[in-house]
Structure 1
């Protein structure tokens, strides 16, 4: 049976006190809504429909990067049942299994969603509801069961009598699976006869049972994955839970994390065995790290590919490739598709942008290398810059193999320095340098003996 996920993400989230929609606030490396789309995707959803409303343009713009996601706008927010109906009609969903999920519930696991869908896919249930029993059920809708263990109805907290609130402890965290055809056929029967005068998706239980259908409950013991975000304090709480889960998995896989409380890793990051993550290391996006590396302290990588036996100290990398046996930092910045080849060294206070640093080459300190193709065995002296921008265009610098560039050198692109060339310190390279040549560009040095004392005497006389 094909599976569709409908994710409810139209709410404002007033308790966040933000100009941004609640589902766009980040947990670790991505907005809340993208945690839910990820879980649905891994659970096997072939279609993912996100219901947007408040801040719809911002949510749409973000989700445009997820090619399997389609958005449907709920222009009037008339409750969860109305949101589901908008999704069914707007995306023409009327068959298969349909998951209904909350965009602010980021910790639900894909395996839990597969278990939730199973009674619908395999056992003929019209609906399945995820449930658990919290220590304090206040605020949650309560599930009522019949003798067979099927759900007979869900009673919202606002509609509970004191007796129901006390006796019904199984709660509804807001995760559902439906038979899509039956949901589409009967969702029009929802009404607003409740305290909030809204269409509740929870009322589908009684509607489906009224048509002779079965509603199953799927129990989970992991309360953490059912938590939602309604405030910034809750966002911090869930972020810490996600961090701890991911770090525990990495340590089980053979990664050393010196201080798990200060190490932050996104859910799609992979790290090889015997790699050490030092405090204040952050690995985001699609980053992959090989084996026997040492990362940190104070290192942040986003969408990077890191080889084996790499040392990155106080390094920021965004969309870069770092090959085996590279050392980098402290306080280095790599970005824009930079590629550091095997055995190269990038030192302190160095920025590398859209450049290739060749095998065994060194950019030790205080340099900017942008839009450059650098060969192997190159040494770049401190304070050197590839001047890649002419005010209109970015231009490339090409440096051959085994080139020595002295300190404080400006290489004004476009320019090529041939294999084995030497560039004297404090030069400004504006012309191509042939292979095996010396390039030296300095003003003639002039020395005036005794000038300093004569100048001082003149200044004293002028004051008298």
Structure 2
């Protein structure tokens, strides 16, 4: 947005969170609050984030591009926070959008409309407002007879009469930069909190007969600031419902949506079914025809067509088409599972490649391994990949059959077409098309006593 700079206020401690983590770093649907807010003003000439409480942690945690940080050493109120940006904006003569760092539900189009109205009306200040039956702790909008804004009165300083006003301040504004900084030098801290309120700028500009207007949104949730963990949960649930609604409109079936959690970053094709009590996170991509769940957790995976994942944990994996996983499987990072493979109940796969049509059906651990095609892994098979200091690789060739309760002590290489007898502990390489037996012969003796 040309000739427009965004200032995001993120210096507060957020004491009502009762947390060692700054409020703006808490996550809503997998994304930090401050990152969601910063995305709203993408495309502006510049984004300035005012930090204060645990500023180094906040700056280190934010991955948003093209951001300038300004520090408010002492938290003396929102007016003082904005004033800290004056030095780096001394040559800027455009408009400033000021918004709180705790409004992740705010829509980008609403901010665009706010700026558009401000410019069209040639106002020096424009505030985003909303009407609500329960104004609670929000500042009230006091208007002139012609509908322009006369003042914004903070709830703690409002009279009983002003508290009856239902139009509230969102804490989101557009200002003429020149007029804003001029007024900021005249605000005082003679209020119940002893802070410099940004809202006092409105009264100062009004007394100077400057044009101040309001743009009203109909959706209170959009301007809801997150001040505690209860409000965090409300915001996340609202966003979760919107994500699921969009998915269902795009052709995804969600069974019992109240129990399903899907983050905004997830991509799901049509004709996928998500069963109850399922969590899908990160940069996961799921192709059509899949059934995910019930009781499944999928994080940052690519999932091919017609895959079934039942009651399992899967993260950081690449899964090809027609794969079956679960129930109660654990698929860990850097695992690749080729098409038509099967990972069954109580099996764990870690940093391994599982070939086409290979079966690891139950009660097995496959770690740091490469398994070829058409292999059968019997129940209770373990790749012993860790010697106490280092991890070692196991390789199994195409068409091999590993009997139940087998230990493969890595590093070890099993050739193609090998048959390993049940109960064996394999410590040496096995050539192609051989039978390996590594166990004591059964002995039957007369029972004594």
Asked if Structure 1 and Structure 2 have the same fold, meaning a TM-score greater than 0.5 normalized by the shorter chain, the answer is: yes
Distance 1:274 1:418, change over 3 A: same
Distance of 2:358 and 2:178 partners within structure 1: 63
Distance of 1:348 and 1:397 partners within structure 2: 22
Match of 1:224 in 2: 221
5 Å-filtered alignment, 1:162-311, equals 162-166=160-164, 168-180=165-177, 183=180, 187-208=184-205, 214-311=211-308
1:129-168 Cα offsets, whole Å, 9 max, x none, are: 21110112232112233455433331212232223233x4
Distance 1:125 1:440, change over 3 A: farther
How far the C-alpha of 1:372 sits from its partner, in A, is 2.0
Match of 1:445 in 2: 441
Q: What is the total number of aligned residue pairs between the two structures?
A: 448
Distance of 1:414 and 1:383 partners within structure 2: 19
How far the C-alpha of 1:387 sits from its partner, in A, is 2.3
How far the C-alpha of 1:57 sits from its partner, in A, is 4.4
Distance of 1:381 and 1:2 partners within structure 2: 67
1:98-152 Cα offsets, whole Å, 9 max, x none, are: 4322222222122222222323566644433211101122321122334554333
How far the C-alpha of 1:202 sits from its partner, in A, is 1.7
How far the C-alpha of 1:396 sits from its partner, in A, is 2.5
Q: SS in structure 2 opposite 1:201?
A: coil
> Please, which of 65, 79, 82 is the counterpart of residue 81 of structure 1?
79
Q: Determine if the alignment matches structure 1 residue 426 to structure 2 residue 423.
A: yes
How far the C-alpha of 1:205 sits from its partner, in A, is 2.7
Whether the aligned pair in 2 keeps the contact of 1:97 and 1:120 (CA below 8 Å) is no
Match of 1:460 in 2: none
Distance of 2:399 and 2:47 partners within structure 1: 53
TM-score (norm: length of structure 1):
0.87
Match of 1:52 in 2: 51
More moved, 80-89 vs 293-302: 80-89
TM-score (norm: length of structure 2):
0.90
Unaligned runs of 5+ in 2: none
5 Å-filtered alignment, 1:143-154, equals 143-146=141-144, 149-154=147-152
> Please, which of 109, 116, 119 is the counterpart of residue 118 of structure 1?
116
5 Å-filtered alignment, 1:397-436, equals 397-436=394-433
Whether the aligned pair in 2 keeps the contact of 1:93 and 1:184 (CA below 8 Å) is no
Cα RMSD (Å): 2.7
Distance of 1:435 and 1:87 partners within structure 2: 72
Q: SS in structure 1 opposite 2:49?
A: strand
Distance of 1:91 and 1:351 partners within structure 2: 56
Q: SS in structure 2 opposite 1:11?
A: coil
How far the C-alpha of 1:244 sits from its partner, in A, is 1.7
Distance of 2:402 and 2:82 partners within structure 1: 64
Q: SS in structure 2 opposite 1:286?
A: coil
Q: SS in structure 2 opposite 1:198?
A: coil
Unaligned runs of 5+ in 1: 458-464
Distance 1:380 1:228, change over 3 A: same
Distance 1:445 1:322, change over 3 A: same
Distance of 2:432 and 2:406 partners within structure 1: 18
Match of 2:131 in 1: 133
Q: SS in structure 2 opposite 1:99?
A: strand
Q: SS in structure 1 opposite 2:213?
A: strand
How far the C-alpha of 1:368 sits from its partner, in A, is 1.7
Distance of 1:317 and 1:22 partners within structure 2: 30
Larger helix share, 1 or 2: 1
1:52-72 Cα offsets, whole Å, 9 max, x none, are: 333444434432x44455544
1:37-58 Cα offsets, whole Å, 9 max, x none, are: 34334xx346444333334444
